[in-house]
Amino acid sequence: MTIRRDRQGNRSVNLRPNIFAAIALAIAACPHGQAQPPSHDALLFTYFRDNGQAGVYLAMSQDGIRFTPLNGDKPIFTPPAWPDQNLTRDASILYRNGLYRMVWTSNWKGRVFGYAESADLVKWSAPRMVEAFPPSLSEEDQPENVWAPEIHWDPAAGNYFILFAATTRRERSDGDGSDNKGDNTSPYDNRIYIVRTADGRTFSDARLLFDQGFSCIDAVMHLDVDGKRWVMVIKDSRNADLKVMPGRNLRISYAGLDLARPEFTPVSDPIAGDNAPMFSDAKHAMAEGPSLIRFQGKWWLYWDEPAGSGINLATSPDLKNWTHRVDLAMPPGIHHGTAFFAPRSAIGWLR
């Protein structure tokens, strides 16, 4: 592994192929093209401040580097007055066919996430409280938290899917040492779950999507360049000082197109955060809240260092060699954003 800087001071990282590279490259399924966003699209970025009590904010960028707050740096969406579920953290927005669909974390504890949609980012539908797990499940298999939902379009299935992290009492008490502390004493032993919707009205029951034997959160996916596999970035949320697979960093895994029967490759070595080659100069460089897009012929990975320098960015031609862009300019004091594209004609009020 090598790290170098370009003339602007940006650090470049070469992650050497490991034994799992061959496995990842061997994954193949029915092709689906993944086009670059049209040049007339705008790059937008959601974020929240503090604990997410004020609402969802939005910024826009021409180049992916310098982001300007929109709407006077005021929320475009404020939290619904749901009892004990009145936060708007980790908002994820997807624009498709003239409609913005948004999901968010509504509290640190609980069994739901929020969903709303809009044609213009101004007027929003009545927010829906989505109960991800069916009430018929036993208490042992109910989620104790529902974190960081991320909404995606699945061209193979022809519907939307939402990824989120949750801890169940069964997982937390199984004694396998996979929790955040690695000793079965942490209240969090998260896994990645998936729900689907075709219309934002009805949602499938949650199903376990990703479990490689360690606590993880903040999953986000994107089709690879050839459209033959999914790329997933997750946060390994185990403590940074563990002797086996220390966490507080971002890792990559790959899966075929059929997420009903996914075969994820073993996660990569850490790429950002603690125990990784890319981090800020802060003492605590925990990385979380990743957002992965294709832009200008490269991969762009944004992430949050809540105890460090805030939002960070790295670019890569191949998901292996990364350049840490230290010239990123974001609004101050923001957390856990999602980058997405929308036609400029659809956001005239934001100009």
Listed in sequence order, the residues at least 6 apart from 95 whose beta carbon sits closer than 8 Å to its beta carbon are 101, 340, 341, 342, 343, 346
Q: How buried is residue 209: exposed, middle or buried, by Cβ count under 10 Å (0-12/13-18/19+)?
A: buried
Number of H helices, E strands in the chain: 2, 22
Q: Which pLDDT belongs to residue 25?
A: 30
| CA dihedral angle for residue 123, residue 164, residue 66, residue 88, rounded to 10 degrees | 40
Task: Specify the residue for token string 């957002």.
Answer: 291
What six digits make up the tokens of 89? 């953290």
State the pLDDT at residue 328: 97
Residue type, 308: G
Instruction: Name the residue with tokens 């707050």.
Output: 69
| Extended strands (E) in 276-320 | 288-295, 298-305, 310-316
Determine the pLDDT at residue 308: 84
Residue 36 pLDDT: 57
Q: Which domains does the chain have, with CATH numbers?
A: 2-350 (2.115.10)
State the pLDDT at residue 347.
74
Confidence (pTM): 0.89
Q: Which residues of the chain have pLDDT under 70?
A: 1-40, 348-351
